[in-house]
């Protein structure tokens, strides 16, 4: 890759800025000063440094975030904060995007990556991996609801959902549940409860395929890179029938 493109990609400014920087002789590859912006380097094999500091280049970034309420799952918005506003510059320069969406008021597990292929694989209807949510529901959630969800319920637009697994954790005027779905329709969980006459008052995603949110490790608003094993597990993730 051309040195100017590489340095611009990882946040050293525009190609013009990088060209100026190169002229000052601060960039080296394997100890040799590079001044020509057209020079090709391989950051995985060569030791590329700027002011003596080795640059870390990777093509893809894979992040696991514990999303707070109040942020849009989008890459930009004119007026509202997006989950990208929670990223450090060193991660934002890779231009990751959210893998699917969580509503603004939904919390919990959100993957961000710039690997379009993996994102597509995780979200494509045929390969959709299961996603589990914890929710607080206004109203008494019953075994009837579990049965209805296991068959699929009709949403307000006439769409009948695929079978979903509902586990009742506590039931009363206010109930708590876990629900696992294999689709990603707009406001799906909220609309499924509306279909049985109940209202979701709090929603948090706790797992997506093989990735489970550990809230001890990742406090709300925090994120970390996925490990190699987790990325591989996501690549291997298979759709399941509930």
Provide the annotated active-site residues.
Answer: 103
Span from 6-14, 33-41, 181-189, 228-236 in contact with ligand URA (CB under 6 A):
181-189
Using CB under 6 A as the binding rule, whether residue 206 contacts ligand URA is answered as no
Rounded Cα distance, 232 and 236, in Å: 6
Q: Do residues 116 and 124 touch, judged by C-beta distance below 8 A?
A: no
Q: What are phi and psi of 9, to 5 degrees?
A: -60, -35
Number of residues that bind ligand URA (CB under 6 A): 8
Using CB under 6 A as the binding rule, whether residue 102 contacts ligand URA is answered as yes
How many CA atoms, within 13 angstroms, populate the side-chain half-sphere of residue 60? Answer: 15
Considering the complex, state which of residue 19 and residue 185 has its C-beta at the smaller distance from ligand URA. Answer: 185
Considering the complex, state which of residue 205 and residue 226 has its C-beta at the smaller distance from ligand URA. Answer: 205
> Of 108, 113, 68, 99, which Cα lies nearest the Cα of 184?
99
Span from 43-51, 59-67, 98-106, 161-169 in contact with ligand URA (CB under 6 A):
98-106
Using CB under 6 A as the binding rule, whether residue 106 contacts ligand URA is answered as yes
User: Segment 186-205, which members bind ligand URA (CB under 6 A)?
Assistant: 187-190, 203
Dmax of the chain from CA atoms? 72
Rounded Cα distance, 91 and 121, in Å: 22
Considering the complex, state which of residue 91 and residue 103 has its C-beta at the smaller distance from ligand URA. Answer: 103
Q: Do residues 59 and 1 touch, judged by C-beta distance below 8 A?
A: no
Using CB under 6 A as the binding rule, whether residue 103 contacts ligand URA is answered as yes
User: Considering the complex, what minimum distance in angstroms separates the CB of residue 189 from ligand URA?
Assistant: 3
Considering the complex, state which of residue 128 and residue 190 has its C-beta at the smaller distance from ligand URA. Answer: 190
Residues counted in the chain: 242
> Of 190, 240, 183, 231, which Cα lies nearest the Cα of 211?
231
Using CB under 6 A as the binding rule, whether residue 29 contacts ligand URA is answered as no
* Binding region for ligand URA (CB under 6 A): 102-103, 106, 187-190, 203
């Amino acid at each position: 890759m051309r040195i100017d493109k590489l340095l611009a990609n990882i946040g050293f400014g525009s190609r013009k800025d990088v060209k100026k920087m190169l002229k000052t002789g601060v960039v080296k590859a394997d100890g040799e000063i590079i001044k020509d912006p057209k020079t090709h380097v391989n950051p995985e094999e060569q030791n590329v440094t700027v002011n003596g500091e080795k640059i870390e280049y990777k093509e893809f970034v894979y992040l696991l975030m514990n999303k707070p309420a109040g942020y849009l799952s989008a890459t930009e918005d004119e007026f509202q904060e997006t989950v990208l506003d929670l990223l450090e510059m060193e991660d934002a320069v890779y231009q990751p995007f959210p893998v699917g969406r969580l509503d603004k008021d939904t919390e919990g597990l959100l993957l961000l990556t710039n690997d379009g292929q993996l994102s597509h694989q995780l979200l494509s209807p045929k390969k959709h991996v299961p996603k589990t949510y914890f929710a607080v529901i206004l109203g008494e959630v019953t075994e009837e609801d579990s049965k209805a969800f296991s068959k699929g319920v009709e949403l307000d637009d006439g769409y009948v959902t695929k079978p979903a697994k509902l586990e009742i954790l506590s039931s009363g005027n206010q109930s708590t549940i876990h629900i696992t779905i294999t689709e990603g329709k707009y406001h799906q969980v909220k609309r499924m409860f509306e279909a049985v006459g109940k209202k979701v008052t709090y929603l948090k995603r706790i797992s997506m395929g093989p990735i489970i949110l550990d809230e001890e490790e990742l406090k709300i608003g925090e994120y970390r890179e996925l490990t190699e094993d987790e990325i591989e597990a996501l690549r291997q993730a298979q759709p399941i029938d509930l």
